[in-house]
Structure 1
Amino acid sequence: MNIRLQVSGISEGRVYLFNVYKNKQSVVDSTEVEVGGRIAFSRLEILETGEYTVILPDQTQIQLLLDGDQVFDMATLASDPVRNMKVTGSLENELLYKSLQFDLECRASFEALGAQIKMLAENGQDYSQLLDQQQQIFRARNNFQIGLIQQYPDALFSSLWQAEQLPRIDEPRMPDGSIDRQAQRMLLRDHFWDMVNFDDTRLLHTKVIFSNLITYLDELTPPVTSEVIRSIDLLMDRVGDKPEYYRFFAQWFAEDYKAPEGPFMDPEAIYIYMVDKYLTRERAFWADSVQVYAWQLRTEDKKQSLTGQKGQNIEAKDTSGNVRALYDIRSPYIALFFYHAGCDHCKKETPKLVEFYREWKDKGVEIYAVALGTEDAEWKAFINEYHMDWINVTDEGVSDIRDKYSFPGTPEIYLLNPDRVIIGKHLRTEYLAWMITNDMEKSAFAKQK
């Protein structure tokens, strides 16, 4: 690998070369700026094909694409690196900077027209003509990119650009002729990965796969456990015979995915689903039996308290030393509150829960609050400070609470219905009233059938 870059006008200092792998960036090389703004990255072995970034001393970033040919020259000006970039000896970077430079030209023209449009009345002829000119610029930009891709279909640049595009989909209509936005979003989810070439593992060394993944989950997947699982299945079905992608997605969903907060989310259910379906001995080809067993062992800890399962009984001592059993509570709904007296987040959530309780305790709601790892005096002081006049118990002498109810930290709120089925977990106080009302309405409707 021998990359020579000249940036005229650059200040002295250290320059870093970063690569991308999946969702992480790391330094692969560094060097000092030489006289005249010359920068050289050189080593005997070639680097992994993919997307790289050069970070200059002033934090300016210069994008690179590396393929098998890693001996080339680039030259530009520090004042405007993209517009002035010249590339010699690297097709990937010639394509990249042709695209970026044409994009700058189009953007300048588009914005100039936009400034004129702002000064015109919407129903005027000139207004419509300028809008049409903007559309022409957009089409010209798109056609330029497509032309490069058609000429060099195997280039990383081409694969990367296509993966960044949204698929073309139909516009489902409502009975009144308007676009059905919800149906459109679901249709886009179904086809979201159509433009990604999963045969091209080079894309794992770019930002696009992880960026697309976040868009797919955050913008196109409703924050409901069943919908997240459906999105997982749609994606995993596409990469079942693509080992590198299968491994990346399976591991990421199981180990790194942070499910959004919400009354309909059960992160533990998603983890268990991944392990049971995708991280088995037969399918997790990269993992040894010890790793597979570790995944399976974690599912056992989480299976006891999934949404839809019956909550388990807890027996613990209250402030008077009397044993209070969760199952002895007669109120139809129980909010289980796990907290620690020294926890700052607990101190913020507790007043909200107290206010909720005062409104709902006569409507069939009880709170069973479990103090975790808290000294007796501190626990009682906390209760008095926040006027917690519900059932208060401590976990002292009770070792199996976390075996019965899984949670990553405090505060934690579970909600149990009259059948003592878990209907919500990892909840914020503001969800409780809505969830209880919704469950009451569902129960009333079921009885009418």
Structure 2
Amino acid sequence: MKVVSSILFIFLFVTNSFAQYDIKGRIKGLSKSEVYLAHYFGYNQQVIKDTVIANEEGEFNFQGSASLPKGLYLISFLKSKYIDVVMEEANFSFSLDTTDILKSIVFQNSDENTAFYTFQRKMNELYTQINQPSLSLDARIPLQREVQQFQQQWKKANASLFVSKLIESSFDPEIPTYSGVLKSKSDTTKMQMYQYQYFKKHFFDGMDLTDERMVRTPFLQRKLERFFKDLVVQDTDSIARESDLILAKATDTDVRRYIIYKIASTYENNPILGTDGAFVHLAEKYYIGEPALWDTSTVRRMKERIDIIKPLLLGKPFPKMHLTDVAGKEINFNSLTHKYTVVFVYDPDCSHCKQEAPKLVALTDYFKAKNVGVVACSIVRDKDAWKKFITEFNFSSWVNGIDIHLNPKTGKEEYYTDFRNTFDVYSTPVVYVLDQQKKIVGKRIPVENLKDFIQYLETRRK
């Protein structure tokens, strides 16, 4: 385990709900081994807060004068083994046997964790019975009722505890019985639409978006990822609308920052075409629009990123790419009359570009049949390397460009195109697809998907 830093920025979460900690443990089956105390930051990141060495009897003590933020923690030992603990009481002890952790674990001075493991033990017991392969459907029904009854009783008995909120956040909403008639296929479709809409509308009901402790659990990240993957149409308008609805409920600063970051980072470079517009919406509304949430470097970076991405959204005119051809003449994109234009941006020395080039050439006949032109341009201003690439990969039938311009007055070479900041070329190759008006209809399309993408564009036009 390690502290995982975002590629975008490092969050600094500040809270007043801290206490000094003193956590004693005794693990049978552990001897002279390291034990880690860490809190969750989503389900796939953990932040280590303390490390100790257990003695020969498996006894150890996490103790510190610094304070610990509340939430769900894990105590990790023996490399692959760990237990989850609720960090509400900062002074408690526990013991367990590694041969059967769930059955043996016992807590002292922690109502939260006692309730937590009571819940887990009972649920494990019931589901072990339910999942017996030999059990008939009729025999499963009373056990499923027992699960529901136990959950309701447990939640009622522990309503004042954070662990109750924690467990509730992991559940899906229960869909009320459909009251309409079911006599036809259209009736079934209506019922399914009702179930989908109810499930989607109430998906976050069990998640308290006003509680900063939820950031330090696996459940908020899981909810967000599942919601946007399974329940939201993957287009800019739908993603932006659903993000706004969720954030309207997220009044806690830490939760709000986490949600904004997770959604924005998902769609900044998402492989689903056109969803980067959702990133622009989130960046403008919640980073630029709410600067108090962020440090100045983050806001500045977001402004810079918007400046690059926004002009490259689908439907935008392709920015001017200053290129000259093999004869040294300026290339005028507007003079290209093809129905579609594929712009292939490469580095002659890039191994991946060399792998993709033959795949592009293999589409030559298809492109001719569909009136698709190709502009292949080198980001490296080396004429020899550029011409060698053109010859080696048989690009000569296409428009080949390079950003080298001879100044007629001085006779010196000049460069005009900023590939990184104007065309978002941070790796190569990069493929854009333009329509006849030279508006962007596709970007970062893998070469092997270009044929299918052109067919999709043709179908959409009909």
Give the TM-score range, shorter chain.
0.7 to 0.9
Report the 3-state secondary structure (helix = DSSP H, G, I; strand = E; otherwise coil) of the residue aligned with 2:331.
strand
Q: Distance in 2 between matches of 1:98 and 1:367?
A: 65
Are 1:87 and 2:94 counterparts?
Answer: no
Q: Distance in 1 between matches of 2:127 and 2:448?
A: 45
Q: How many percent identity over aligned positions?
A: 22
Task: Between 27-36 and 271-280, report the one with greater CA deviation.
Answer: 271-280
Report the 3-state secondary structure (helix = DSSP H, G, I; strand = E; otherwise coil) of the residue aligned with 1:331.
coil
2:278 corresponds, among 270, 285, 288, to: 270
1:144 corresponds, among 150, 166, 175, to: 150
CA RMSD of aligned residues (A): 2.6
- Once the two structures are TM-superposed, the CA of residue 189 in structure 1 deviates from its matched residue by 3.0
- Once the two structures are TM-superposed, the CA of residue 417 in structure 1 deviates from its matched residue by 0.9
Are 1:44 and 2:62 counterparts?
Answer: no
1:17 corresponds, among 25, 37, 42, to: 37
Task: Between 360-369 and 377-386, report the one with greater CA deviation.
Answer: 377-386
2:175 corresponds, among 169, 174, 177, to: 169
Alignment deviations for residues 223-244 of structure 1 (CA, whole Å, 9 cap, x no partner): 33333223322222222x3333
TM-score after normalising by structure 1: 0.86
Unaligned runs of 5+ in 1: 118-129, 445-449
- Once the two structures are TM-superposed, the CA of residue 70 in structure 1 deviates from its matched residue by 1.9
Q: Distance in 2 between matches of 1:226 and 1:412?
A: 25
Q: Distance in 1 between matches of 2:352 and 2:203?
A: 37
Q: Distance in 1 between matches of 2:138 and 2:367?
A: 58
1:385 corresponds, among 392, 398, 403, to: 392
Are 1:423 and 2:441 counterparts?
Answer: yes
Are 1:335 and 2:355 counterparts?
Answer: no
- Corresponding residue of 1:433: 451
- Corresponding residue of 1:224: 235
- Once the two structures are TM-superposed, the CA of residue 187 in structure 1 deviates from its matched residue by 4.6
Q: Distance in 1 between matches of 2:99 and 2:87?
A: 24
Whichever residue aligns with residue 249 of structure 2, its letter is: R
- Corresponding residue of 1:372: 379
Report the 3-state secondary structure (helix = DSSP H, G, I; strand = E; otherwise coil) of the residue aligned with 1:41.
strand
Task: Rate the CA distance shift 1:47–1:313 in 2: closer, same or farther, 3 A.
Answer: closer
Task: Rate the CA distance shift 1:438–1:255 in 2: closer, same or farther, 3 A.
Answer: closer
Alignment deviations for residues 368-396 of structure 1 (CA, whole Å, 9 cap, x no partner): 11111263333333333332232221234
- Once the two structures are TM-superposed, the CA of residue 214 in structure 1 deviates from its matched residue by 1.4
Unaligned runs of 5+ in 2: 1-20, 405-414
- Corresponding residue of 2:307: 300
* Contact 1:304–1:403 (CA under 8 A) maintained in structure 2: no
Task: Rate the CA distance shift 1:21–1:73 in 2: closer, same or farther, 3 A.
Answer: same
Whichever residue aligns with residue 54 of structure 2, its letter is: V
Structure 1 segment 20-39 matched on structure 2, within 5 A:
20-22=40-42, 24-39=45-60
Task: Rate the CA distance shift 1:435–1:256 in 2: closer, same or farther, 3 A.
Answer: closer
1:406 corresponds, among 424, 427, 443, to: 424
* Contact 1:95–1:157 (CA under 8 A) maintained in structure 2: yes
Are 1:56 and 2:74 counterparts?
Answer: no
TM-score after normalising by structure 2: 0.84
Alignment deviations for residues 301-335 of structure 1 (CA, whole Å, 9 cap, x no partner): 22222111111332312234333222221111101
* Contact 1:357–1:367 (CA under 8 A) maintained in structure 2: no
Task: Rate the CA distance shift 1:71–1:403 in 2: closer, same or farther, 3 A.
Answer: closer
